[in-house]
Amino acid sequence: LFAQQTTVVINSTSGTTINKNIYGHFAEHLGRCIYGGFYVGDTSKTIPNTDGVRNDIIDALKKLKIPNLRWPGGCFADTYHWKDGVGPKDKRPTIVNKWWGGVTEDNSFGTHNFLNMCELLGAEPYLTGNVGSGSPQEMADWVQYVNFEGKSPMSDWRKQNGREQPWKVKFWGIGNEAWGCGGNMRPEYYADEFRRFATFMTDWGNTGGLMRIASGASDADYNWTETLMKNIPVDMLGGLGVHHYSIIDWGHKSSATDFTEDQYFATMKSALQMDELVTKHAAIMDKYDPKKKVAMIVDEWGGWYDVEPGTNPGFLYQQNTMRDAMIAGVTLNIFNNHADRVRMANLAQCINVLQAVILTDKEKMILTPTYHVMEMYNVHQDAALLPVTVKTNDYSLNNQKLPAVSVSASKDKSGLVHISLVNIDAHKAQNINVDISSLKLSNVTGRILTSSKLQNYNSFDEPDKIKPAVFNDASIKANTLNVKLPPFSVVVLELK
């Protein structure tokens, strides 16, 4: 069953680069993301690891080309005192994770573990400091501890704890969700707090300039963005966050795997809202920062459902289906197409939490459909954005409509063009004609991610049920690329 033809025009260049940091991830002290996910303890004999971090996870994330990783929260960040997580492990105090399950942590995974892990992954660390219950001094000390090269109380302490060279951390979040779990602040008050904390976070001259990132708006809270942009000087503000989860209803989130088409449609409606949010927050930023110096950083995004039955409700452990592949595909296309302002994003969250790319069960590990989308899309990292004009069919249900097809395109440094296409329609295939006359290309290959049911997922018994396959339904004739896109599928094409 084919829908009417969709047409796409690919324009030659935009002068905008798709920042690889759009493909970033997020690792909070939450459920089994760090403890029992990334980190299996320094003495695990059953799971191969490097300083306690699982080798299979390191390999999988390197393959993903993970560009950056945000840590330690999330809400946890505004309860975290970094000094409790360095030095001899048997001397470290415990911390009760008040937001996530009330579990007691032993602080065995701290700053050294995280920053060394980022080095293993080849990912830039993005540290979020404690504004809600911390002090400017605590944050300034953290910056000095991880970045200062010479002699100082903090760098001496770092060296004593086994690390001679600084890690040179560039990305710094000044609190998280300051409007909520980060302190329930008003935007006017937070803007002042941001200025105060930012003042004492010294750039020690080896990062190319610290990027100080403000805790951003939730969803459509445009007043938050407006107030911060108005009250924080552009030169002080490296990045401004936005958080948006694809969610049906906070009160009734419903199952991650056992969902109806109505629920699928509602989730996709929420996912596609990202385009409007990014557009409107960007328009406000443009007013105060027309030269686009400040990056928009969507440092939390993804699907949020009920936890898997029988698991701790505070651990946010959920399965990941073809619906999540659709969320990832359309969201990354939105970010690519807004790359002039969106320069970093962090999927929530990397391992075992919310829309994870990896799930673990003791020694077993599986890659989710979302992992595969992120891997297929990594060809866009640091490539030149090719703007697209799309005339798409609607995906209709119960008198409501959503655009069925989403597209983004880029040209990499070697001249290869990549086009990522998503068809969210649950039933109809799309016959797509792409005008590529601006590009002069004649050869196309591709990969597809799809499955027989939207509700399908990879399980520990069937880890490869959903994985990318060769895609043969694309051909080029006289400057027109024709693509036949099956229902609920993600395709990435390579043209030369």
Q: Among residues 97 and 430, whose Cβ is nearest to ligand AHR?
A: 97
Q: Min. distance of Cβ 25 from ligand AHR in angstroms?
A: 12
Report the alpha-carbon distance of residue 231 to residue 235 in Å, rounded: 12
Q: Min. distance of Cβ 36 from ligand AHR in angstroms?
A: 17
Query: Cis ω on the peptide bond leading into residue 349 (within 30° of 0)?
Result: yes
| Residue 124 among the catalytic residues | no
Q: Among residues 79 and 321, whose Cβ is nearest to ligand AHR?
A: 79
Q: Among residues 46 and 250, whose Cβ is nearest to ligand AHR?
A: 250
Q: Min. distance of Cβ 53 from ligand AHR in angstroms?
A: 21
Q: Among residues 132 and 166, whose Cβ is nearest to ligand AHR?
A: 132
- The catalytic residue among 28, 105, 124, 177 is 177
Q: Among residues 97 and 451, whose Cβ is nearest to ligand AHR?
A: 97
Count the Cβ atoms, other than its own, within 10 Å of residue 426. 19
- The helix (run of H) or strand (run of E) holding residue 194 is helix 187-200
How is residue 1 written in tokens? 């069953």
Q: Min. distance of Cβ 24 from ligand AHR in angstroms?
A: 14
Q: Min. distance of Cβ 244 from ligand AHR in angstroms?
A: 11
Q: Among residues 33 and 390, whose Cβ is nearest to ligand AHR?
A: 33
Binding site for ligand AHR (CB under 6 A): 28, 73-75, 176-177, 300, 348-349, 354
Report the alpha-carbon distance of residue 19 to residue 169 in Å, rounded: 18
Task: Give me the residues paired with residue 95 across strands.
Answer: 105
Report the alpha-carbon distance of residue 297 to residue 94 in Å, rounded: 32
Report the alpha-carbon distance of residue 125 to residue 249 in Å, rounded: 32
Count the Cβ atoms, other than its own, within 10 Å of residue 204. 18
Question: Angle CA(33)–CA(64)–CA(475) in degrees, nearest 5?
Answer: 140
**What is the full DSSP assignment across 303-364?**
E--PPPTTS-GGG-----BHHHHHHHHHHHHHHHHTTTTEEEEEES-SBSSSS-SEEEETTE
| Residue 28 among the catalytic residues | no
Beta carbons within 8 Å of 319's beta carbon, 6+ residues apart: 256, 257, 308, 359, 457, 459
Beta carbons within 8 Å of 136's beta carbon, 6+ residues apart: 196, 197, 199, 200
Q: Among residues 182 and 403, whose Cβ is nearest to ligand AHR?
A: 182
Q: Among residues 282 and 348, whose Cβ is nearest to ligand AHR?
A: 348
Using Cβ positions, the residue closest to ligand AHR within the complex turns out to be 74
What backbone torsions phi and psi does residue 27 show, to the nearest 5 degrees?
-130, 105
Q: Give the single-character DSSP code of 453.
A: -
> Contact 267/246 with Cβ under 8 angstroms?
yes
> Contact 495/416 with Cβ under 8 angstroms?
yes
**Cα-Cα end-to-end distance for the chain:** 30
For 406-451, give the secondary structure using H, E and C.
Answer: EEEEEECCCCCEEEEEEECCCCCEEEEEEECCCCCCCCEEEEEECC
Q: Among residues 102 and 153, whose Cβ is nearest to ligand AHR?
A: 102
Q: Min. distance of Cβ 177 from ligand AHR in angstroms?
A: 5
- The catalytic residue among 138, 193, 300, 375 is 300
The residues carrying an active-site annotation are 177, 300
